[in-house]
Structure 1
Amino acid sequence: MILKSTVISSLQKKRKNQSKKNKKSAGSVPKKAKTTARNEENIDDNDPDDPSISNNRAEGSTSSRSTPPSSSSQSSEIAGSSRQTQIKTSAPASSNSESQCLDKSPIEEADEQISSANETIEIKCDDLEELEQQITFSSLNEWEVGTVNVSRKFKEYQRQLIVSVRQKKTKLTWNNTFELLALSSIIVMCWPCPYSTFTSSEWRQVLNSNPYKITQPILTDSLLSAFYKASNDFSLGLNCSFTLDDNSELSDKARRIFDYIKDELPLRSKQKETETKHSIYNLDPFIKIIFGGEYTPYTLEFNKSVNGKQRPDFSCVIDDIAILNSEIKPLGYTQYRKDQDFLKVHLKGKKSINQLLEKGGPNKSIAFLNMGDTIESYVIDLAYDGVYRSWLCFKNKLATDKGSFPLIVLTFSHFVMIEQHVSEIINDYENRPPPGSYTPPEQIENVKFIRKMPTTPQLKLLLKL
């Protein structure tokens, strides 16, 4: 009898404890894991789709690309700089974070893209016929470098490519970026030469004529020296301080970026990362501080919303025309995405030039690409009939951990340079006569150089993504 009472009492106590436990778990909210760069080492093995990480991403996307979380006052300083700038951000369609972000791990993206990477790009016959007619007639003006007639050689390449596509000898996929761009009248000035109609020596001669190559230092000697010394000392674990005698605006921006990034970079970079986190920790401090400011003549746009989902890219816009277009992919990106983004940012650059010329503006735009730990910028122009030239003007590695910290000097120089190009284009645009007034003859001629955007459905869809 005593044994039976004891058993009953034990069971009742167990049920009571279980009931309390259930009530407690039902009424509590799981704590969100902190995902700052300082403790990223602790979440390397976390699932990218973990709700706590997704929620943090969504909260960051509702502002002008939120500054990385930090306990230092520098975080609020960076966030404050964006409030002084004309900044547009696309808010998520709802509070359901993960469904509103394009953040997928590189592994997930790779699984989805295996079939897409080999997708055949069916160029519309109308596009081929129109291009064929354009390259048949003599140009209004031709691009010549020494003894090399670049316009004619590029036209010959386009002509051969059209024949090959029509005869099904060439199957165009997303990997054929240079061929697809050539069919859109865009020639990319890079090495090695991607065009069979040029010899190596001819192409080298053309590349050496780059009007946008860097001919003088971007930073002053004193700023460059202090920046390098402070970043190297920090990388070696020495006591470091970034002090300068001058109080120039550029020096102040360099100091703010240095003080922020040295506290936020992880000890080691991750093999894979989401687009949003990659942008917040590795790019935003540069973008917000260098492109920010109370008197910038352009609108800095972040977190473009596409079909209710957000992209962590940025652009500099005036009169609804993007002077700078960008595409960003984190560490662990796939070749398929790299090819698509390279193609997309160049087609957008062409579109921007067409819009500028139609409004009486200049014939240039800027393209910025970040693929993992590499950043590169191009100046795209339309100086000759039907030839959109893309010139690589800066390429360097991005600091992604404390070991690569000294790279922030090159990254800072890179962003300063492209901001200068953007400002020059916009100043040129604003100082031109308003539409309907006097139009210079050269402006009328430049408008005739314009070539239409492609009508191939896959390329039109790419520009909407």
Structure 2
Amino acid sequence: MDSKKVSISKKEYDFFINEARPTPTEFFKKFNCTSKKTAVSIWYSALREVLKIRDDLKLVNIEQNYKDGKYKQAIDDYFKTSVLEKEKTYVDKTLTKKTSKAIRSRIDDLLPEETGSKKPRLMESQQNDDSSILMSADPKIKQEFPGSCSSTSGPSSKPHLEEDIESKYYDAGKRHKILYSWKDAIGNIDIRDASKKDWIFENHNLSNDFRNFQQKTIKQVKENSYLCFKKDFHKILCLSNIMLVEQKKPSYLTCDQAIWSTICRRQTSPVLSLVITTVISEYSSLLNCFASLDEIEDRWCANFAKVTELNNEDRANFCKCQIILRNFFLLDSINKNNEDTFVHSTLHDLINEMFRDPLLELVWANSESTASKRQRSNDKENTVKGNKPDFKILNNDRDEILFGEVKPKDSSSILVKKDFIKLGDFQVATLNEIIKKHGNKNGLISFGIWVTGARIRFYEMDLSYDGIYRMVLVSNVVIPTERAQFLNLMTVLEAFFNIKRRISEVITVIASNTPPNSPSRSTYGRVPTSSPKPVKVTISGLQPN
């Protein structure tokens, strides 16, 4: 190892202090290293610098493993992967969509696996058709396998697996897809014929429609265990006893659209004071007439004098809004190529400010959900850890009450849908835990925030009816990414203040000594459904339709 002095940044230093697995490959990924020699030198120098200050056994072991050569293969594999990723980008830019997809799949087959990685271990099983099915021993699939979508048909359904590949590439060798099988989970799904309380609206039994849909889905999965996160979205949700309530009526409901629209309509009251709406309009006018940033900031500073007109609650809300609004004054200078970075940074600050409250604790990524861990303990394959949300909010009793999932706007639709289903499972798990701890009182709900690009959706989930976790869309807003959209901040702030008000109401219900109005409400919950298992389908010599 080159002993030449290398400058170490604070971020590189903090990596070894805070990261759970400060291995070379994790370091390279975090700092987007492209030069092997330089990257290894910086990693080793940073580690040596940390070890001088902090005699951490974990770091000492990493240093010793490196000296013993145990990381050499992982480092080589990482930089081989980086080269192939560059080749993928070149293919995407120069070839047609269909041709590039075929070649990308060949590149994926060539990617080396990291030594000692925790990828699902795959074992080949024999099938009657030309495909070989590789069954994972680990129910949790990593994102190393992109494009993991199938239809409800099995792996031999050729059109759904290779529909975009041109004929001359069908014999180019083996390719694979990742499907998801509910075969092992289907026998443990907690669905009951009897119900203590159905959801009936205007003489229409929505609970009955939902149960019929569950039974049809179970029958389908018994015949063919594969479901696609994109195409079979509602089927996967129903297997977890979740009914999605948003503007688009699920096809399995037999009520008409007018009834469904009435159900979905939300009653909200304005929560922003006149002073807040006035300053938002003022800033919007300044931005749209191309006032200088100095002029806008002078106006922003002067507006703080308005707090003297407000009561304590409105004063606190006004100050929150002022801090949030200032982050959007630079809308004219956003590079559209970095729009996701802008959205995530402003979203991070917005959420931090909105939930800055002595009664709440905001926890960002890398913290597993306690409720998810307890729920997954029922699954023999998932007894170690719970899933990790992108962020969560806890009350003073350490009850997890809100979860958030965030995806960039360019994420594949499959990953977006998987994240949404993950969010629903978080809400089910924590609602079960709250009910178990406090009883199924009227007004108990869990919350979810789903971010895709600049769009933010807010969900509430209740268990008011037997066996149905209703996941209700309560707000759908867009963060502004240009000057003309600045007034969008009114609806964004209203949505956040409304969800915070609802959280306060739930905390009040939890703290009350009022028992559930019906003892049977405590039996409305259902045992969580086991996770699907990833299945690797190898495709060889297929012909297009």
Residue 93 of structure 1 aligns with an amino acid whose one-letter code is A
Distance 1:427 1:458, change over 3 A: farther
Q: Is 1:172 aligned to 2:227, yes or no?
A: yes
Are the aligned partners of 1:181 and 1:343 in contact in 2 as well (CA < 8 Å)? Answer: yes
Distance 1:315 1:388, change over 3 A: same
Q: Is 1:250 aligned to 2:303, yes or no?
A: no
The residue that corresponds to 2:392 in the other structure is: 315
By how many angstroms is 1:143 displaced? 0.8
Query: Counterparts in 2 of 1:45-124, with a 5 A limit?
Result: 56=11, 91-93=18-20, 99=26, 112-118=144-150, 119-124=178-183
Residue 317 of structure 1 aligns with an amino acid whose one-letter code is L
Residue 353 of structure 2 aligns with an amino acid whose one-letter code is I
Where 1:208 maps in the other structure, the secondary structure is helix
Query: Counterparts in 2 of 1:62-461, with a 5 A limit?
Result: 91-93=18-20, 99=26, 112-118=144-150, 119-124=178-183, 127-128=186-187, 130-132=189-191, 134=192, 136-137=193-194, 139-168=195-224, 171-175=226-230, 176-201=232-257, 204-210=258-264, 213-238=266-291, 239-240=295-296, 241-242=299-300, 243=303, 244=306, 246-247=309-310, 248-263=315-330, 266-270=333-337, 273=340, 279=344, 281-293=345-357, 295=358, 297-305=359-367, 313-318=390-395, 319-361=397-439, 362=441, 363-402=444-483, 404-432=485-513, 439-442=515-518, 444-458=519-533
Are the aligned partners of 2:189 and 2:528 in contact in 1 as well (CA < 8 Å)? Answer: no
CA displacement 1:136-182 (0-9 Å, x = unmatched): 22x101111112111111111112222222233x8412212211011
Where 1:424 maps in the other structure, the secondary structure is helix
Q: Is 1:29 aligned to 2:20, yes or no?
A: no
- Uncovered stretches (5+) of structure 2, i.e. residues with no partner: 33-84, 90-103, 109-143, 151-177, 369-383, 535-545
Q: How many residues end up aligned between the 2 structures?
A: 366
Distance 1:299 1:393, change over 3 A: same
Distance 1:128 1:218, change over 3 A: farther
By how many angstroms is 1:210 displaced? 4.4
Distance 1:130 1:312, change over 3 A: closer
By how many angstroms is 1:130 displaced? 4.4
Residue 99 of structure 1 aligns with an amino acid whose one-letter code is E
Are the aligned partners of 1:268 and 1:401 in contact in 2 as well (CA < 8 Å)? Answer: no
Residue 174 of structure 1 aligns with an amino acid whose one-letter code is F
Are the aligned partners of 1:304 and 1:311 in contact in 2 as well (CA < 8 Å)? Answer: yes
Where 1:332 maps in the other structure, the secondary structure is coil
By how many angstroms is 1:452 displaced? 1.0
Residue 219 of structure 1 aligns with an amino acid whose one-letter code is L
Q: Distance in 1 between matches of 2:284 and 2:16?
A: 30
By how many angstroms is 1:447 displaced? 1.5
Distance 1:197 1:411, change over 3 A: closer
Q: Distance in 2 between matches of 1:152 and 1:26?
A: 72
Are the aligned partners of 1:58 and 1:98 in contact in 2 as well (CA < 8 Å)? Answer: no
Q: Distance in 2 between matches of 1:269 and 1:301?
A: 29
Residue 7 of structure 2 aligns with an amino acid whose one-letter code is V
CA displacement 1:256-304 (0-9 Å, x = unmatched): 1122332588423326756xx753x1212211111013x2x23211122
- Taking structure 2 as the reference length, what is the TM-score of the superposition? 0.59
CA RMSD between the two structures? 3.8
By how many angstroms is 1:59 displaced? 5.5
By how many angstroms is 1:57 displaced? 9.0
Q: Distance in 1 between matches of 2:181 and 2:221?
A: 9
- Uncovered stretches (5+) of structure 1, i.e. residues with no partner: 1-22, 33-54, 63-90, 434-438, 460-465
Are the aligned partners of 2:339 and 2:481 in contact in 1 as well (CA < 8 Å)? Answer: no
Distance 1:229 1:387, change over 3 A: same
Are the aligned partners of 2:213 and 2:252 in contact in 1 as well (CA < 8 Å)? Answer: yes
Are the aligned partners of 2:189 and 2:239 in contact in 1 as well (CA < 8 Å)? Answer: no
- Taking structure 1 as the reference length, what is the TM-score of the superposition? 0.68
Where 2:471 maps in the other structure, the secondary structure is strand
